[in-house]
Structure formats: structure tokens, C-alpha cells
Amino acid sequence: MAERWKSGLHHPVSVYAKQVTQGKLRDQCCKYENNDIADAVAALVEKAFPGEPVYRDYTPADFQRPSNLVEISGGKIYPNFGCGTVELRPQITVTTFTEVDPYHQQDDQELTRRQMILLGLFLPGYVKVKDRAPHVLDEGEMENGLDFAAVTVTLSYTLGRQEFMEIQQPPDMGTLHIKQEVTTHG
């Protein structure tokens, strides 16, 4: 039990959430998932910066500049057992990159301009994803580096418990008969 507690798997919902995030139950669960949100955000970024590459989850070693990166950078799950719902709060980080000179210096004003455009993508307060619109929970965190600028926002959407856990129950194992014998030595 101590090992399960250290690993964070002390609750059945945690076990299930870990299986979903590791992809083991992806085909059985959630016809609407966080990757759909990342795809919708990537589409918004493509519209904001037409003709520039939008990378998902990582950038290649010699990636093109200017470009953008969209990734799921975290999230939380809030099961509501009373209402039979599950609230998911994925964090999406969008990072923008500008041209750099031979000394790896960039134009700070251009980087800030691009960061403000990315922040503006979330100002409507929601992101249209398929037939839903997860709402933006916060105003976004901004991070600046030597050659990048990033915006991280937390979105929220709620699924019905049945919709979230569309897992087939395994058949009952039936009755188990145990034969017990007692022997004495003496």
C-alpha cells in the first residue's frame, strides 16, 4: 500500500486517470479528449500565423523559425460523484519562436507582439472544439526566454461519468469453489 500511496495511485479514479493518460484505454474512453482541444488551438494558431509551421508536443532539432509549438503541459481531473460528472482541466501551452541571428539573438519587440497575439486567441473565453466549447479558466501565464515566448492557459470542460468511463465491464467470473484439506502430523 505504501508504494501505491507514493505513486499517487491510492484512489481508483487515479488509477483510471493514469491508464487514460498513458493511452491504455484511449480507444474505450472519451470520444472527446484533450488532444482535440490541442488540435483546435493549433488551428487557431495556424490562422493567426498563416504559412508558419505549428508543431505539436515537440520541435525537431532543426526546426523552422518563425514557428509555434502547441502542447498539453498538464491538467487536473475533478470527479463529482454526486452529480455523476467529471470535470477536466487541461493546461495548454503555446510557444512562439522568431528568427534569430548567428549569435542566437532575436527581436524582442517581435517576440512580444507574437506573444500578445497568442494571448488574444483565448480572450473570447472559450475555444470551439467539435460540438463543444471548453471555457478558459484563467487569464493565461506568460513566459519569456532568450529566443521564445509562451502562453499557458487552463481550459475546463465537463463530461458525464458514463461518457468519460465508457468501459465494458468484464463478465462475472462465476462461483469459485475451494477445497480445503487439513492434515495433521504426529
Rounded CA-CA distance 150/140 in Å is 10
Q: For residues 117 and 186, which has the higher predicted lDDT (pLDDT)?
A: 117
Average pLDDT estimate for 45-70: 95
**Amino acid identity of 79?**
P
- Which range is least confidently modeled, 92-101, 102-111, 170-179? 170-179
Most confidently predicted of 49-58, 106-115, 127-136: 49-58
The pLDDT, as a whole number, for residue 186 is 62
- For every residue of the chain, which 3-state class applies, written as one string? CHHHHHHCCCCHHHHHHHHHHCCCCHHHCCCCCHHHHHHHHHHHHHHHCCCCCEEECCCCCCCCCCEEEEEEEEEEEEEECCCCEEEEEEEEEEEEECCCCCCCCCCHHHHHHHHHHHHHCCCCCECCECCECCEECCCCEEEECCCEEEEEEEEEEEEEHHHHCCCCCCCCCCCCCCCCCCCCCC
Taking 50 as the threshold, does the pLDDT of residue 17 lie above it?
Answer: no
Rounded CA-CA distance 32/34 in Å is 7
The pLDDT, as a whole number, for residue 165 is 66
Q: Report the relative pairing of strands 54-56 and 148-160 from DSSP bridges.
A: unpaired
- Domains in the chain: boundaries: 1-30, 31-164
The pLDDT, as a whole number, for residue 145 is 86
The phi and psi torsions of 73 (rounded to 5 degrees) equal: -105, 5
Average pLDDT estimate for 129-142: 88
Cβ atoms of residues 99 and 106 within 8 Å: yes
pLDDT confidence band for 4 (50 / 70 / 90): very low
Rounded CA-CA distance 75/142 in Å is 17
Residues 136-166: tens digit of each pLDDT: 998 679 998 888 999 999 999 888 777 766 5
As a CATH number, domain 31-164 is 3.30.2000.10
